[in-house]
């Protein structure tokens, strides 16, 4: 029986999940039963990980244990630092550094085969890698993790050496909670494919980072902010955006494979960014209001450019603003996305391992047949 080929697997259901439900027509995102708008601005990231990996929010006692378990595993192997130093000497992109170093993070871990345990170790160590690399690249010494701080506070602390303010920690947690899982996106599918071969969790995470690194997936927020900066003042927005579209460029931070209305994460992140920018410098306040104007112009011009496509703001646009508001350089945006999305990757690996089924679709041969060997 001939089966149809679906480019990009669009519309193909390739997994069942209890982790998140994405309704692209209504613009709704449910995270393990909770509406995104309800849980993302309230939960800590540790609570979200527990929810996704154990199926329910932790009790107070479980949360204390879980926080301690994660905080105790933040140190990375000395060999990982050596590798990061070598990568920094080449001044490579932080996302490339994360992809290279993540594969060494479990070097000193005992192989347990327990995916939750391996997941906790990876999720605890990746922020240490990202922060250490950022500092090495800037010619500074890495800062050791502080187990007394929460996962989010510790990441910001390892970047700057200063304990972050409560609103900064809240902003980062809301961001990570908003991007923690999103159906069968490309990096999550990659993680599932890898774990389905009964490979180890670190391999699944490294593969997922590789998929996230691409500009059509997790690489958009840096360029989204660049566009706002390039526009500079709202009166230029129309002209600059029209010129980009005329050249066939894609506007980063707009359009989505699933959402045909505004990405609900954009609203949650816009609110979080607004709260953060309330106490920001005048320059950052101006940047935030410029971005809101640019968003309106971009959506209007995309509707003219591609009528009927419903190209709306996606998560990356306000990610860029929020992470900028947290003091992160734009080349850290994609690695910081990975630090949140690892929650979904591990959750999906747990689900995939439950089914035990190897993921192995088919391809249809469209090449020639009947060629004969001939010596050169």
Which residues of this chain interact with ligand ACO, rule CB under 6 A? 216-218, 220, 250-257, 306, 309, 311, 314-316
The least CB distance from residue 186 to ligand ACO, in Å, is 7
Distances (CA, A) of 50 to 44, 62, 148, 216: 10, 9, 19, 29
Hey, how many other C-beta atoms are within 10 angstroms of the C-beta on 192?
Answer: 24
- Closer residue to ligand ACO, CB minimum distance, 44 or 312: 312
Closer by beta carbon to ligand ACO, 158 or else 179: 179
Q: CA–CA distance from 44 to each of 152, 175, 290 (Å)? A: 8, 11, 30
316 is catalytic: yes
Examine the residue annotation and report whether 38 is marked as an active-site residue of this protein.
no
Smallest separation, CB 251 to ligand ACO (Å): 4
From the list 295, 316, 324, 348, the catalytic residue is 316
**CA separation for the pair 268, 291 (Å, rounded):** 16
Determine which one of 256, 295, 324, 348 is catalytic.
Answer: 256
Nearer to ligand ACO, 170 or 217 (CB): 217
Task: Give the residue closest to ligand ACO by C-beta.
Answer: 255
Q: Which is nearer to ligand ACO, 75 or 303 (CB)?
A: 303
Of residues 195, 231, 185, 227, the one with CA closest to residue 337: 185
Residue 269 · residue 319 · CB < 8 Å: yes
Min dist CB 266 to ligand ACO, Å, is 10
**Residue 197 near residue 69, CB atoms below 8 Å:** no
Residue 338 in tokens: 């990975």
User: If you count DSSP H runs as helices and E runs as strands, how many of each does the chain have, helices first?
Assistant: 16, 3
Smallest separation, CB 164 to ligand ACO (Å): 25
Active site residues: 256, 316
């Amino acid at each position: 029986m001939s089966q149809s080929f679906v480019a990009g697997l669009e519309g193909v259901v390739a997994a069942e999940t209890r982790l998140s439900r994405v309704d692209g027509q209504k613009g709704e995102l449910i995270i393990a039963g909770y509406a995104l708008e309800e849980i993302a601005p309230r939960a800590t990231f540790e609570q979200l990980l527990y929810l996704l990996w154990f199926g329910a929010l932790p009790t107070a006692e479980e949360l204390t244990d879980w926080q301690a378990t994660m905080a105790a595993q933040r140190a990375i192997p000395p060999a990982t630092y050596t590798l990061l130093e070598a990568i920094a000497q080449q001044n490579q992109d932080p996302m490339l550094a994360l992809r290279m170093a993540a594969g060494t993070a479990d070097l000193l871990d005992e192989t347990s085969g327990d995916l939750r345990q391996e997941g906790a170790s990876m999720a605890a160590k990746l922020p240490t890698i990202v922060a250490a690399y950022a500092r090495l690249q800037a010619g500074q010494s890495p800062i050791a993790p502080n187990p007394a701080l929460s996962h989010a506070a510790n990441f910001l602390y390892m970047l700057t050496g200063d304990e972050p303010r409560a609103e900064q920690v809240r902003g980062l947690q809301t961001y990570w909670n908003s991007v923690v899982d999103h159906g069968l996106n490309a990096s999550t599918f990659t993680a599932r494919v890898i774990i389905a071969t009964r490979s180890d969790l670190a391999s699944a995470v490294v593969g997922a980072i590789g998929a996230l690194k691409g500009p059509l997936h997790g690489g958009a927020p840096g360029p989204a902010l660049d566009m706002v900066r390039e526009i500079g003042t709202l009166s230029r927005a129309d002209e600059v955006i029209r010129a980009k579209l005329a050249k066939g460029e894609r506007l980063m931070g707009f359009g989505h494979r699933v959402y045909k209305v505004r990405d609900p994460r954009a609203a949650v992140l816009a609110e979080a960014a607004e709260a953060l920018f309330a106490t920001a410098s005048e320059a950052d306040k101006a940047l935030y209001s410029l971005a809101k104007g640019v968003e309106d112009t971009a959506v209007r011009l995309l509707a003219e450019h591609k009528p009927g496509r419903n190209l709306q703001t996606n998560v990356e646009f306000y990610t860029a603003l929020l992470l900028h508001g947290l003091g992160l350089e734009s080349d850290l945006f994609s690695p910081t996305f990975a630090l949140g999305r690892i929650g979904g990757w591990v959750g999906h690996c747990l689900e995939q391992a439950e089914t035990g089924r190897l993921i192995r679709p088919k391809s249809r041969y469209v090449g020639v047949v009947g060629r004969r060997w001939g010596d050169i």
